[in-house]
C-alpha cells in the first residue's frame, strides 16, 4: 500500500526518470477538458517516452465524475489496446485522480497508474492515499475502491494555472491537517496569505500537509481506525456539497469542507470540549476568506438527510470524527438530529448568515 510521493520543481525530469525505468507497452494520459489545455502542454513534449501516448479526455467538473465518464475511459483503454502492462497518467485535479484511479484499478483487474495533481486540493487530498471512485445518484464518492498510485508527483509548476478560488479550495484540506496535527502548524496556516500566489513559501507548508496525511494512511490504509480522522469536516461537508449540487449551484469541494470543518468544530466544542478560542479563530479565517454558505433553517432536514447517506455511518448513526484539542481525535462520535440542528444554528451565527 506504500505510495511514493515526489515533490519536484521540475516535473519533466522526475517523470522522465520514472518512465525510463519501468516496463510498459502503452501510455495513456487522462485529462479533463480544462487540464488538456492548461497542463498537458507542460509534460507532453519533454521526452521521447511520451511521443506515442494515447490521450483520453472527459468533461471538466465534479458532476462529470460519474458512470458515463468512467465507461468512456474504459472503452478508450479497451479500443486502444491497453493491457495489464499499460500505464495510465492521471493529469488533473481530484476529479481526475479519483475517476482515473478507479478506472485503472478495475480495467483488466488493475493496470499501473500515476497521479500528477494539477491543483492544490488534489495535491493535499485526492491524489495521495489510495481512495478512488465516482459519484452516484447525487451522492459523493458512492462507488470506488482503495488503490494507490505507484507514484504521485507534486509540483507547484501547475498551480500558476489555478484561480484564487481553487487555491482556497485546496487550502481547506490543509487547515484540516493543521487541526489534526498541532497548534504550531495550524497557526502557520492561518497566518499565511493564501491569496498572494507565493508558491515558494507555500511548498514547505504543502509538503508538511501531505506528510501528515501519509503518516495517517500508512498506519491505517483501509480506514478501519485512525484514517477516519481525515474525515474531519467531511460528514457535514459532503452534505453541503450534495445540497448545492441538487440546487444546481455546485461549489468547490474545499469550500464545502471549510464550512464542514466549522460545523464539526462546533460539535467538537459541545461534545468534547474543543477550545472555543480556536473555533472562533478558524471561523474568522473561513468567514474572511471563503464564500458564504447560503442555507436557512428550512434546509436543515435535507442537509440531515444527506448526512444519513454518508459512507462512514454505522448502525443507523451519523458518524463524525471530532477533536478534543489539536491532534487529540475522537473517532466514531454521533450526534442527534437536535444537536445537528443546534450546530447549524451556531454555524449560521458565526458566519453571519
Looking at residue 130, its pLDDT comes to: 85
Please give the model's pTM, rounded to 2 decimal places. Answer: 0.84
| pLDDT band at residue 222 under the 50/70/90 scheme | confident
- What mean pLDDT is predicted for residues 209-227? 88
Q: H or E element: which one contains 228? A: none
Most confident residue range from 124-133, 138-147, 238-247, 313-322? 238-247
Looking at residue 316, its pLDDT comes to: 73
Residue 175 in contact with residue 285, Cβ under 8 Å?
yes
Looking at residue 272, its pLDDT comes to: 97
Looking at residue 47, its pLDDT comes to: 58
Q: H or E element: which one contains 259? A: helix 253-272
Would you give the DSSP letter of residue 240? H
Comparison of pLDDT for 3 and 95, the residue scoring more: 95
| pLDDT band at residue 311 under the 50/70/90 scheme | confident
Closest CA to 158 of 211, 199, 114: 199
Alpha-carbon gap, residue 128 to 351, rounded angstroms:
31
Lowest mean pLDDT among 46-50, 69-73, 208-212: 46-50
Would residue 250 be called left, alpha or beta, if left means φ above 0 and alpha means ψ between -120 and 50 degrees?
Answer: beta
- Please, what are the domains in the chain? 4-161 (3.40.50.1970), 164-351 (1.20.1090.10)
Write b or e for each residue in 76-105: b if 16 or more Cβ atoms lie within 10 A of its Cβ, otherwise e: bbeeeebeeebbbbbbbbbbbbbbbbbbbb
Is residue 260 predicted with pLDDT exceeding 90?
yes
Is residue 1 predicted with pLDDT exceeding 60?
no
| pLDDT band at residue 201 under the 50/70/90 scheme | confident
Alpha-carbon gap, residue 56 to 26, rounded angstroms:
13
Looking at residue 21, its pLDDT comes to: 87
The chain-wide mean pLDDT, for the chain, equals 91
CA 230 to chain centre: 10
Would residue 263 be called left, alpha or beta, if left means φ above 0 and alpha means ψ between -120 and 50 degrees?
Answer: alpha
Count the neighbouring beta carbons within 10 Å of the beta carbon of residue 109.
Answer: 7
Residue 152 in contact with residue 239, Cβ under 8 Å?
no
Is residue 140 predicted with pLDDT exceeding 70?
yes
Alpha-carbon gap, residue 147 to 163, rounded angstroms:
30
What is the radius of gyration, based on Cα positions, of the chain? 20
- What mean pLDDT is predicted for residues 179-186? 97
Lowest mean pLDDT among 80-89, 164-173, 199-208, 277-286: 199-208
Residues in the chain: 353
| pLDDT band at residue 197 under the 50/70/90 scheme | confident
Is the torsion defined by CA of 59, 60, 63, 68 positive or negative?
positive
Q: H or E element: which one contains 282? A: helix 276-289
Looking at residue 347, its pLDDT comes to: 98
Is residue 49 predicted with pLDDT exceeding 70?
no
Looking at residue 48, its pLDDT comes to: 61
Collapse the DSSP code of 137 into the 3-class scheme (helix H, G, I; strand E, B; otherwise coil) and give the result: coil
Alpha-carbon gap, residue 320 to 15, rounded angstroms:
39
Looking at residue 198, its pLDDT comes to: 78
- What mean pLDDT is predicted for residues 67-73? 98
- Can you tell me which residue has the cell 458532476? 63
Alpha-carbon gap, residue 333 to 320, rounded angstroms:
5
| pLDDT band at residue 310 under the 50/70/90 scheme | confident
Is residue 314 predicted with pLDDT exceeding 80?
no
Comparison of pLDDT for 197 and 199, the residue scoring more: 199
Alpha-carbon gap, residue 155 to 11, rounded angstroms:
6
| pLDDT band at residue 196 under the 50/70/90 scheme | confident
Amino acid at each position: 500500500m506504500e505510495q511514493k510521493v515526489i515533490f519536484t520543481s521540475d516535473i519533466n525530469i522526475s517523470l522522465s526518470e520514472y518512465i525510463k525505468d519501468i516496463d510498459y507497452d502503452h501510455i495513456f494520459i487522462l485529462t479533463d477538458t480544462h487540464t488538456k489545455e492548461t497542463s498537458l502542454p507542460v509534460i507532453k513534449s519533454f521526452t521521447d517516452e511520451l511521443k506515442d501516448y494515447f490521450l483520453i479526455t472527459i468533461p471538466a467538473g465534479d458532476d462529470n465524475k460519474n458512470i458515463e465518464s468512467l465507461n468512456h475511459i474504459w472503452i478508450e483503454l479497451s479500443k486502444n489496446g491497453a493491457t495489464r502492462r499499460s500505464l495510465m497518467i492521471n493529469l488533473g485535479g481530484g476529479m481526475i485522480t479519483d475517476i482515473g484511479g478507479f478506472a485503472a484499478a478495475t480495467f483488466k483487474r488493475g493496470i499501473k497508474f500515476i497521479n500528477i495533481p494539477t491543483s492544490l486540493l488534489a495535491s493535499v487530498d485526492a491524489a495521495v492515499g489510495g481512495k478512488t471512485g465516482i459519484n452516484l445518484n447525487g451522492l459523493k464518492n458512492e462507488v470506488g475502491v482503495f488503490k494507490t498510485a505507484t507514484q504521485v508527483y507534486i509540483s507547484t509548476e501547475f498551480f500558476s494555472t489555478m484561480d484564487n478560488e481553487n487555491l482556497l479550495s485546496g487550502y481547506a484540506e490543509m487547515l484540516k491537517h493543521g487541526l489534526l496535527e498541532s497548534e504550531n502548524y495550524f497557526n502557520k496556516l492561518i497566518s499565511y496569505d493564501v491569496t498572494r500566489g507565493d508558491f515558494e513559501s507555500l511548498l514547505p507548508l504543502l509538503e508538511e500537509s501531505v506528510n501528515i496525511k501519509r503518516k495517517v494512511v500508512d498506519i491505517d490504509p483501509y480506514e478501519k481506525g485512525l484514517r477516519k480522522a481525515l474525515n474531519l469536516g467531511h460528514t457535514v461537508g459532503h452534505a453541503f456539497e450534495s445540497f448545492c449540487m441538487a440546487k444546481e449551484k455546485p461549489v468547490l469541494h474545499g469550500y464545502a469542507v471549510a464550512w464542514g470543518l466549522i460545523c464539526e468544530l462546533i460539535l467538537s466544542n459541545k461534545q468534547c470540549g474543543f477550545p472555543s478560542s480556536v473555533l472562533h479563530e478558524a471561523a474568522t479565517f473561513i468567514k474572511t476568506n471563503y464564500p458564504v454558505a447560503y442555507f436557512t433553517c428550512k434546509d436543515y432536514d435535507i442537509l440531515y438527510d444527506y448526512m444519513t447517506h454518508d459512507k462512514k455511518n454505522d448502525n443507523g448513526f451519523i458518524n463524525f470524527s471530532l477533536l478534543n484539542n489539536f491532534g487529540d481525535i475522537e473517532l466514531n462520535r454521533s450526534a442527534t438530529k437536535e444537536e445537528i440542528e443546534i450546530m447549524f444554528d451556531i454555524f449560521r451565527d458565526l458566519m453571519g448568515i
